[in-house]
């Protein structure tokens, strides 16, 4: 009997000890302003059960965040995508009554969110760039070099990629958005990014691989990215990212974007052992088992924003 009582007391003590830890999770991601997730090139909100930000929205919502996943053109210029995002931001603000949003953009979603923060900083509390193409991608440079505008190869490539973008938008319920893969490639090139940054410099590092301003016009800027193209033997996308990583000639990269190009504002890290798709927990969660989960990285950033009063 004594042994039973002792065991019961020990169990109660353990439960009491664990309770504060469990309670601390409540509200962990509860930011002041709604979080808006913005996809990259050939991205989507969801196609059937497959989310672009795989498992991330639900994880953020579980501990208090209001999360919205928008859909802009799968392939188009940063400015076109930015205007599409701005329209949706206004709709989210009208629906929620919030005065601002926290924008989180992956890949081409990085510059897309920056565009909105640049033209309407009064509507944006923060911009978080995840694997963002903030100073261009060598992969886009190579594609434009291999298939320059006006050539037959370019016509074929553009036709195929525009068609892919149209299919993606249709399957994800975003039909009607105009696709322009050539404009997308030009926006993501080094030259295109340089031109964009001249018009929208907020948060962009002035040095080759430094940090940018942490806050501009009342908008806080953050970034993080991976630097390991091949991370999971079961992920069918990893071999392709390993191949595209060769374009960077040994420079640290995630398979599609160099670490230096990804840097914006306050750099959390630019060397996680994850690749460009891992950054949004793709393919369907097949990421590096020996690195922090991408879902956790998004949760940590939401908590960071919460603690900053955003």
Catalytic-labelled residue, pool 254, 258, 262, 270? 254
- What is the largest distance, in Å, between two alpha-carbon atoms of the chain? 87
Catalytic-labelled residue, pool 108, 187, 276, 278? 276
Q: What is the DSSP letter of 222?
A: E
H or E segment and range at residue 10: helix 2-25
User: Beta 101-106 vs 35-38: how paired, if at all?
Assistant: parallel
Tokens coding 202: 């907020």
Closest residue by Cα to residue 109 from 52, 65, 66: 52
Burial class (CB in 10 A: 0-12, 13-18, 19+), 156: exposed
Catalytic-labelled residue, pool 107, 189, 225, 258? 107
Burial 286-297 (b: 16+ CB within 10 A, else e): bbbeebebbbeb
Contact between 203 and 264 (Cβ < 8 Å):
yes
Residue 67's beta-bridge partner residues?
A: 35
Tokens coding 114: 């920056």
Q: What is the DSSP letter of 33?
A: S
Contact between 52 and 39 (Cβ < 8 Å):
yes
**Cβ atoms within 10 Å of 67's Cβ, excluding its own:** 21
Give dist(CA 270, CA 293) in Å, integer: 15
Give dist(CA 197, CA 115) in Å, integer: 10
**Cβ atoms within 10 Å of 194's Cβ, excluding its own:** 11
* Residue 276 designated active-site: yes
Give dist(CA 235, CA 255) in Å, integer: 14
Active site residues: 107, 254, 276
């Amino acid at each position: 009997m004594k042994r039973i009582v002792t065991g019961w007391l020990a169990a109660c003590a353990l439960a009491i000890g664990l309770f504060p830890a469990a309670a601390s999770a409540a509200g962990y991601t509860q930011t002041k302003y709604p979080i808006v997730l913005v996809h990259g090139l050939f991205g989507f909100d969801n196609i059937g059960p497959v989310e672009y930000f795989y498992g991330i929205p639900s994880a953020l919502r579980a501990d208090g965040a209001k999360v919205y996943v928008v859909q802009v053109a799968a392939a188009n210029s940063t400015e076109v995508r930015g205007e599409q995002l701005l329209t949706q931001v206004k709709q989210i603000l009208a629906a929620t009554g919030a005065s601002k949003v926290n924008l989180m953009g992956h890949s081409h979603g990085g510059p897309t969110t920056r565009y909105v923060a640049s033209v309407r900083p009064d509507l944006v509390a923060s911009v978080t760039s995840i694997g963002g193409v903030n100073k261009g991608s060598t992969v886009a440079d190579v594609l434009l070099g291999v298939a320059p505008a006006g050539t037959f190869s370019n016509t074929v490539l553009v036709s195929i990629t525009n068609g892919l973008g149209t299919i993606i938008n249709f399957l994800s319920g975003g039909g009607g958005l105009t696709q322009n893969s050539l404009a997308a490639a030009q926006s993501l090139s080094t030259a295109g990014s340089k031109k964009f940054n001249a018009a929208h410099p907020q948060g962009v590092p002035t040095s080759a691989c430094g940090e940018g301003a942490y806050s501009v016009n009342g908008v806080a800027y953050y970034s993080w990215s991976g630097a390991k193209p091949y991370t999971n033997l079961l992920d069918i996308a990893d071999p392709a990212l390993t191949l595209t990583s060769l374009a960077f000639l040994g420079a640290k990269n995630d398979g599609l974007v160099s670490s230096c190009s990804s840097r914006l504002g306050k750099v959390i890290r630019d060397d996680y052992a994850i690749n460009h798709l891992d950054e949004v927990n793709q393919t369907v969660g097949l990421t590096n088992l020996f690195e922090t989960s991408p879902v956790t990285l998004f949760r940590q950033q939401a908590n960071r924003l919460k603690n900053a009063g955003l």
